[in-house]
Structure 1
Amino acid sequence: MQLNLEDLRAAFGFGVAGNFAGHLEQAGEAGDFTSVDAPAEAPKGIFPWYVPRDNGFLRLFPLSHERIVLPVSKTPLNLQIEPEVAVLGVVTYRRDGTVDRIEPRAIGAFNDCSIRREGATKISQKKNWGEASKGIARQLLRVTEIEPDGAAATLRLASFLVRDGEALPYGVDSAVADYSYFGTQLLDWVVDRLRHQQGADGTPLEDVGQQLLAAGRPAVVVIGIGATRYTALGETTFLAPGDHSVVVVYDGARHDADAVQAAVAAGAEHELPGASTLRQVVFAAA
């Protein structure tokens, strides 16, 4: 499925926090969720990163197929790739405006690029600083379901930092089915959060369902379903101008991890059959 970015300007973008064991701890964000009541194995909540019609910074369209533009800052900012699977879904609403269900249409490579910003009170404050602050693959994989034993059963998620001509593993190569919540369980949980999650002082979460309603009940949503664990390099290495950020969703039944890394090193990851790939060049703020 070829994606037209312009078609996503009317979509609503949000993410899932804490959907892969160990990521929040590595990102230094686990303490932000101490006030959030959730089972240990469950995601912690959802957060917005693009809200059409918003009056604040979330109205800025952040998606790009090929660039990451660093934010303007007088002090150094620690930006990390957040390798994720994105789900492109169609929303059905109830008469009262609340969400009835979300049906998946495609999945693919996504970079929920984030600032490790001390003092941020909401997750969204780390997520959208303007144009080209997020990434989504041009080529998505068309689906009608995303069950762990279905369309996504053999899919894997890998990511790399390409620096000085070398492709360095940034996230731990992981089975997509290893997300804490996936398939129907994930989508049902997301719908529940859109209906019931509340924002309040002392929690990094917001009332995303109300933001969706205020955005005019968009028919399409883009969901970043959570970042995987980092490698030791990914945990401690931040993006700089000239780097390439690469995220690959690939079929583990057709390619092994070494072949994927070799393709990325050669700049040929887009030639991997059955893969969704995203390569973004990092630019300094203008």
Structure 2
Amino acid sequence: MILEDYKDYLGFAVAGNFANHLGEAGEADEFSVIKTEEKNAPKGIFPFYIKNHESFLGTFPICDDTILTHGMEDKNLQVEAEVALICDFEYENGKVIDIIPKSFCAFNDCSIRVNDGKKLSTKKNWGKRTKGMSQDIIKIDSFNEKDSVLAKYHIASFIKRDGILYDYGTISAVKSYSYFFTQLKDWMIEKFNTQEDCGPLEELTPFLKNANKSKGMIIAAGATAYTEFGKHNFLKKGDEIFVYVYNAHVHSFQDIMNDMSGVDLFLGQCSKLHQIVE
């Protein structure tokens, strides 16, 4: 499908699913009021796109080649490199009863970092072309850790600024998410049905009231930690963003570097996102 076809999907993301990310993003204090059953559990789920919603969430923000600043450069825009799960789901009697991940791709959950005390969702969609999603969609063979090809994939992200390439996020194995596979799926089903309005998070059930009209869900599984450059450098116009989700058993880090350098490679088991900041 082309990205426009995903306008009929709901867009949600998981907060705090990689160690240290919230602290590096300046959001740890906001989330201090959120208590989790396990120390390493994600903090919660937030919406970034709800079709026909009366708020800013009704704007479709996803693009595969551009991030538009919309005059928000002074709000400290930052790449968030993630795996996006493209899912079917079952919704009955006002409850999510199942989530079925069908495919995945590289995703940039680009975010505003200036702390304004509002809900996390307000930092995640400030207009058209403010999110990134690769058109390299890879089917999921299984969502169990023991036999899923996803267990072999890594996430890497980079910024090219003034012709110089910088590591932006730390290279992270997909299986190093705090919660993933069956554990993440079960946790998400529970959160969709029980999450309350607290701190930076919102109750989710109101966003699902027209869920049966949706074709599926795009769920961003959580952002990696940052390199030193990524922690201290926010997006500027002209920056090039690269996010790779690649099978590290097939493609080397050097393959990724060569691809960004313009070497003609076939990255057959890789989802690549390349965006220009405008």
TM-score by length of 2: 0.95
Offset of residue 215 of structure 1: 5.2
Aligned partner of residue 40 in structure 2, secondary structure: coil
RMSD (CA atoms): 1.5
In structure 1, the residue matched to 2:82 is 84
In 1, Cα distance between equivalents of 2:62 and 2:50: 12
Q: Secondary structure at the match of 1:30?
A: coil
Alignment partner for residue 100 of structure 1, among 78, 97, 101? 97
Give the Å deviation of 1:228.
0.4
SS in 2 for 1:187: helix
CA deviation after TM superposition for structure 1 residue 268, in Å: 5.5
User: Could you say which residue in structure 2 is the equivalent of 1:41?
Assistant: 40
User: Displacement of 1:152 after TM fit?
Assistant: 1.0
Map 1:221-240; keep pairs closer than 5 Å: 221-240=217-236
One of 176, 179, 201 as aligned partner of 2:177? 179
Name which of structure 1's ranges 26-35 and 162-171 shifts more when overlaid on structure 2: 162-171
Structure 2 unaligned runs (5+)? none
For residue 216 of structure 2, the aligned residue among 216, 220, 244 is 220
- 1:266: how far off? 2.2
Residue of structure 2 in register with 1:281 after alignment: 276
Equivalence for 2:267? 272
Question: Deviation per CA, 1:51-109, whole angstroms, max 9, x where unpaired?
Answer: 11211100000000100000224x71200100000000001112x12111010110110
Percentage identity across paired residues of the two chains: 39
User: Deviation at 1:198?
Assistant: 1.1
Give the whole-Å Cα distance in 2 for the aligned partners of 1:280 and 1:170. Answer: 14
Q: Residues 144 and 154 from structure 1, CA distance in 2 versus in 1: closer, same or farther, beyond 3 angstroms?
A: closer
Q: Distance in 1 between matches of 2:208 and 2:264?
A: 38
Aligned equivalent of 2:2, options 1, 4, 9: 4
2:165 aligned with 1:170: no
Which residue of structure 2 lines up, in the alignment, with residue 54 of structure 1? 53
Count of residue pairs the alignment pairs up: 276
Q: Please state if 1:262 is matched with 2:258.
A: yes
- The residue aligned with 1:116 is 113
Q: What is the alpha-carbon distance in structure 1 between the residues aligned to residue 213 and residue 178 of structure 2?
A: 28
How far apart are residue 147 of structure 1 and its match? 2.8
Q: CA deviation at 1:238?
A: 0.8
Query: Partner residue of 1:250?
Result: 246
**CA distance in 2 between partners of 1:229 and 1:265 (Å):** 24
5+ long unaligned stretches in structure 1: none
Pick the aligned partner of 1:210 from 203, 206, 227.
206
Distance 1:267 1:217, change over 3 A: farther
Q: Secondary structure at the match of 2:241?
A: strand
Tell me how far 1:278 sits from its aligned partner: 0.3
> TM (normalized to structure 1)?
0.92
Partner of 2:122: 125
Write the letter of the residue equivalent to 1:172: T
